[in-house]
Structure 1
Amino acid sequence: MKPNPLIITVATALLGVWVVIAAAAKPGPDHIDIYGGTSGKVPFPHARHQERIQDCNVCHSVFARESGAIKRMKEQGALKPKKVMNLQCIKCHKNEKRAGKPYGPVTCSTCHVK
């Protein structure tokens, strides 16, 4: 029996709406202190990034949406040192700077607090 394309389309649309509503309902904390290894923690304005980026997966495709995920992944060897900061944060900030848009810090010592 062939699946009904209309049912598939409606189900997909409803799933999409549910995902958007669920994401909006749980925006995450306004501020997070990210584990920064021996260089010190990184105070992170989470809400500001959510407003600007609007796609949680831009960052969270690399690490889970849970407290302590970066530290745990680094300790397990699942996340290389500097991967998040260099390949995610600083890369994005530099791209925004090149595009003439407002951007965040582009050096390590600007973010890490000992």
Structure 2
Amino acid sequence: MNKKVITICLVACSIVAGLLLIPVSGIVAQDNGRAQLTLNGGRQGPVPFNHQLHQAIVEECAVCHKDFGKKTGALDEAKKTGALKAKQVMYKTCMACHRAKKRAGEKFGPISCSACHA
């Protein structure tokens, strides 16, 4: 074989190998959303939400996102369509977790309405 054929084969193999790594890099570089969010708190006012802190503590997205999607406005949309009731996530997920952490003697989040709503 001559050098030109070997070079072409090596370049082709490199391209194919690079293309095979694209799906893996997509899994590793997962979009975790914004670090800080402001949730619609209804009549009580907005709820500043430290998304990054919750990701570090909870680690598994499905714990919170089992009831609503991972996109901007998903929580409000789920309430609007009737998939979720008002305060359902707050009481059954957020407050339940915060109270369980308090009972366990761990650092916990707010457990009163006024502590979250701005």
The TM-score with structure 2 as length reference comes to: 0.74
**2:36 corresponds to:** 31
Q: CA deviation at 1:92?
A: 0.2
Q: CA deviation at 1:24?
A: 5.0
Note the aligned Cα RMSD (angstroms).
2.0
**1:82 corresponds to:** 87
Q: What SS does structure 1 have at the residue aligned with 2:101?
A: helix
Structure 1 gaps of 5+ residues are 1-17
Q: Does 1:91 align with 2:86?
A: no
Q: CA deviation at 1:51?
A: 0.6
Runs of 4+ in 1 over 6 A off after TM superposition: none
Identity, % of aligned pairs? Answer: 41
**1:60 corresponds to:** 65
Q: What SS does structure 2 have at the residue aligned with 1:25?
A: coil
Number of residues of Structure 1 aligned to a counterpart in Structure 2: 96
Q: Does 1:71 align with 2:76?
A: yes
Q: What SS does structure 2 have at the residue aligned with 1:59?
A: helix
Q: Does 1:112 align with 2:117?
A: yes
Structure 2 gaps of 5+ residues are 1-23
1:7-40 alpha-carbon deviations (Å, 9 max, x no partner): xxxxxxxxxxx5xx63653122110111112221
The TM-score with structure 1 as length reference comes to: 0.76
CA distance in 2, matches of 1:73, 1:42: 17
Q: CA deviation at 1:94?
A: 0.3
CA distance in 1, matches of 2:81, 2:73: 12
